[in-house]
């Protein structure tokens, strides 16, 4: 029996990792979860999911591989370090002006990329750094995306899903609030609202106060059912919009930092209602752009990305290739030791 570990630092990790967990269990192997830090809600663990409480427990467990949808795994944790990403590349820049999605932190042995649009760039980085490999597998979080179908979609009001990132420079939530408050009083559409878990509490409170028969605020670690229910998304520069586009449904964005022809971007809140109305008509040119974009970002529709990830891990562990040694990451690992209260060698 093979042993695997999930390294979780944010609540969105549960949704990303559970399809992979199912694939592991289907093989007769086992998974343990490690919830790092106090930004993870332990109540999101299911009764059958087993948590390791300390680094010492992980050392004793000796996982074959460790999977993380975040930016790092401490070097003192045993096992192959596998990067799964916490979202899609939407052009966000870090504080130093670099491409956030492609930032290499010296933590991973294997990057499992989502599609052609990111694989080529990571391959270039692998050749540059020399201590990790890149395999295009698709994203495990997408595996169940196409499962559920709303059989009553023709007998209900169009559903609008409002999602937003927490970044103050990128979020649409405070800027669209007044317009959403006005529009939701009209009975034409049904609204669902779901925000990034780091969204400021005052914004969450304001939107919760908007709830009525037309608008529902939802707090969840699994956004997939909301994506499946909705007919259109209103968003900003959050990577969740890419997941929605993979369902080949229209997205209206507010001041997206890299708008493309596959979305309807607006720069003024006053244009929200008309943009929604137009996009709900599914214009042929827009839908064609969405299909082309989806194939570039994540062409896999078979629900087997988790299986490809596990295959990539097996190939990596049995491979005859030679990689450089990863950086020691002294400062980053020291911070991790302090955060996790682990000082043993």
Residue 186 has which token pair? 């009209």
Same domain (yes/no): 212, 259: yes
CATH of the domain at 332: 3.40.50.2000
Residue 4 has which token pair? 């695997």
315 lies in some domain: yes
235 lies in some domain: yes
Compute the half-sphere exposure of residue 344: CA atoms within 13 Å on the CB side of its CA.
7
CB distance 31 to 55 below 8 Å: no
Same domain (yes/no): 123, 231: no
**Angle made by CA atoms 159, 160, 164, in degrees to the nearest 5:** 150
- Strand (E) positions, 124-263? 133-136, 159-164, 190-195, 215-217, 232-235, 251-254
CATH of the domain at 179: 3.40.50.12580
For the chain, the domain total comes to: 2
Same domain (yes/no): 162, 289: yes
Exposure string for 313-345, b = 16+ CB within 10 A, e = fewer: beebeeeeeeeeebeebeebbeebbeebebeee
- Strand (E) positions, 51-101? 65-68, 80-83
3-8 and 30-35 beta bridge pairing = parallel
pLDDT by residue for the chain (345 residues), tens only, comes to 999 999 999 988 998 999 999 999 999 999 999 999 888 888 889 999 999 999 999 999 999 999 999 888 998 999 999 999 988 876 665 566 556 778 888 899 999 999 999 999 999 999 999 999 999 999 999 999 887 555 455 568 999 999 999 988 899 999 999 999 999 988 789 999 999 888 999 999 999 999 999 999 999 878 889 999 999 999 999 889 999 999 999 999 999 998 999 999 999 999 999 999 999 999 999 999 999 999 999 999 899 999 999 999 999 999 878 899 888 888 887 887 878 778 876
202 lies in some domain: yes
pTM for the whole structure: 0.79
51 DSSP β-pair partners: 33
Compute the half-sphere exposure of residue 298: CA atoms within 13 Å on the CB side of its CA.
29
Give the Å distances, CA to CA, from 99 to 96, 104, 123, 134. Answer: 9, 10, 15, 18
* Burial grade of 2 (CB within 10 A; 0-12, 13-18, 19 or more): middle
108 lies in some domain: yes
CB distance 108 to 257 below 8 Å: no
Same domain (yes/no): 134, 20: yes
45 lies in some domain: yes
Backbone φ and ψ for 163, nearest 5 degrees, come out as: -120, 150
49 lies in some domain: yes
Residue 33 has which token pair? 């979860």
Rg of the chain taking only CA atoms, in angstroms = 21
Same domain (yes/no): 311, 292: no
For residue 262, give its domain range.
Answer: 153-297
How remote is the C-alpha of 178 from its chain's centroid? 28
Same domain (yes/no): 163, 291: yes
């Amino acid at each position: 029996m093979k042993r695997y570990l999930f390294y979780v630092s944010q609540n969105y990790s549960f949704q990303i990792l559970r399809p992979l967990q199912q694939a592991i269990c289907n093989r007769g192997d086992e998974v343990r979860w490690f919830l790092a830090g106090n930004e993870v809600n332990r109540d999101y663990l299911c009764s059958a999911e087993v948590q390791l409480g300390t680094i010492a427990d992980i050392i004793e467990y000796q996982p074959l591989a460790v999977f993380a949808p975040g930016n790092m795994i401490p070097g003192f944790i045993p096992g192959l370090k596998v990067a799964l990403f916490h979202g899609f590349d939407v052009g966000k820049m870090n504080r130093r002006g670099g491409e956030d999605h492609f930032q290499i932190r010296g933590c991973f042995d294997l990057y499992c990329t989502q599609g052609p649009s990111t694989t080529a760039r990571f391959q270039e980085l692998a050749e540059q750094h020399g201590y990790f490999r890149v395999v295009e597998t698709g994203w495990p979080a997408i595996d169940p995306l196409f499962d559920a179908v709303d059989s009553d979609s023709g007998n209900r009001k169009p559903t609008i899903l409002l999602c937003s990132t927490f970044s103050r420079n990128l979020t649409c939530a405070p800027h669209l609030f007044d317009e959403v408050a006005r529009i939701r009083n009209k009975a034409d559409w049904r609204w669902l609202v779901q925000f990034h878990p780091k969204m400021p509490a005052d914004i969450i409170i304001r939107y919760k106060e908007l709830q009525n028969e037309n608008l529902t605020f939802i707090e969840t670690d699994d956004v997939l059912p909301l994506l499946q229910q909705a007919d259109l998304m209103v968003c900003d520069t959050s990577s969740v919009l890419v997941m929605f586009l993979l369902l080949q449904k229209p997205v209206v964005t507010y001041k997206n930092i890299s708008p493309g022809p596959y979305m309807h971007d607006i720069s003024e809140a006053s244009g929200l209602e008309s943009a929604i109305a137009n996009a709900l008509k599914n214009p042929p040119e827009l839908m064609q752009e969405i299909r082309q974009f989806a194939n570039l970002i994540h062409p896999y529709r078979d629900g087997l990305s988790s299986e490809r990830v596990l295959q990539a891990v097996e190939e990596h562990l049995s491979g005859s290739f030679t990689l450089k040694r990863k950086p020691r990451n002294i400062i980053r690992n020291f911070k991790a030791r302090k955060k996790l209260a682990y000082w043993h060698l």
